[in-house]
Amino acid sequence: MKISTLKYFAIDSLKSIKRNKTISFASAATVAATLFILGVFLLTALDVQQVIKNVESRVEIKVFLNNDITIGEEKALETKIKGMSEVASVKYETKQEAMKNFKEQIGEDNKALLEGLEKDNPLPNAYVVKVKDPEMVSKVVDSVKDMKGIYEIQAGKEIVDRVVAVTKTIKWIGMALFAILIGVSLFLIGNTIKITLYSRRREIGIMKYIGATDWFIRWPFIIEGMIIGIIGAIVGCILLYYGYNVVYTKVSTNLFLVKLVQPKYVLTNISWQFGLLGILIGSIGSMLSIRKFLAV
């Protein structure tokens, strides 16, 4: 395709969008809403997946010990845990080490929360048990829970299971909403093109009569749909970036142990995907609408 021809198609498409600006705006807004919702669910899925990986890497059993546990009870418990085939490693963590680790987790900005606790450390001594597979947590806990000298047992398996369940729910809801909004976008863009086609049906008939090819007639309308799709993609990306930036800032401030995908991911990864999807939605909507008008 020559540059002059492409320029003609682009100018013709922009004129058409200007003539039908109301429905073109509605079409672009629908594409923006479609891609925005897709982006919300995509970022949510990525954040949840990151949380799951973080949780799974930290899945461990903490066997907290009574302050008055005897040496014999402690030795028997250690021997029992180390002798289990499901256990990958066992580490004895003193209350001082536990406090130090907790400080590192919450970071420098939140150390003020621990003022006064160093002198009167409330954290107990514990065995930190890592298992070979998160699925083995329950078996290990059941094997040692009735032994003497244990104050409490904490395991993170339940958290992983809940997060996985939430991820699946979000995934299916997101897919359903995306499918519905894709249909709405195609319908609105198709109607935009149909209005243009109807107002120019005589012109199309004459062009066909004098020998213009179907693709020569198609291209201005396809480009029009693509422009609408790109505009919608840009608006959707901007809304997603600033909206997610607000959420990211609040979560990072209030839940300092939760690490989310950074907002720049929207600009570096999602933006070009939005652009391609916008072009695809716009061109498909246009091609579906123009088919019957070419049968002149």
pLDDT bin (cut points 50, 70, 90) of residue 114 is low
Most confident of 67-81, 108-122, 214-228: 67-81
Please tell me the predicted confidence (pLDDT) of residue 105. 66
How is 54-117 classified by DSSP, letter by letter? HHHHT-EEEEEEPTT--HHHHHHHHHHHHT-TTEEEEEEE-HHHHHHHHHHHH-GGGGGGGTTT
- CA-CA distance, 19 to 27, in Å (whole number)? 14
225 vs 167, higher pLDDT: 225
Whether 283 contacts 221, CB under 8 Å: no
Please tell me the predicted confidence (pLDDT) of residue 85. 87
Percent of the chain with pLDDT over 90: 6
- The residues facing 127 across adjacent strands are 63, 92
Please tell me the predicted confidence (pLDDT) of residue 234. 94
**Domain spanning 60-155, CATH class:** alpha beta
User: Is the pTM above the cut of 0.75?
Assistant: no
pLDDT bin (cut points 50, 70, 90) of residue 286 is confident
Return the domain boundaries, the chain.
3-54+161-294, 60-155
pLDDT bin (cut points 50, 70, 90) of residue 235 is very high
What tens digit of pLDDT does each residue of 36-80 get?
Answer: 888 888 888 788 777 766 666 667 788 888 888 888 888 888 888
**pLDDT at residue 242 tops 90:** yes
What tens digit of pLDDT does each residue of 141-157 get?
Answer: 888 888 888 888 887 66
Whether 150 contacts 68, CB under 8 Å: no
- Mean pLDDT, the chain, whole residue set: 77
Please tell me the predicted confidence (pLDDT) of residue 84. 87
pLDDT bin (cut points 50, 70, 90) of residue 253 is confident
Mean pLDDT, range 4-9, rounded to an integer: 67
Mean pLDDT, range 121-138, rounded to an integer: 79
- CA-CA distance, 232 to 189, in Å (whole number)? 11
Most confident of 33-37, 168-172, 240-244: 240-244
Whether 261 contacts 50, CB under 8 Å: yes
**pLDDT at residue 226 tops 80:** yes
Tokens standing for residue 91: 């580490």
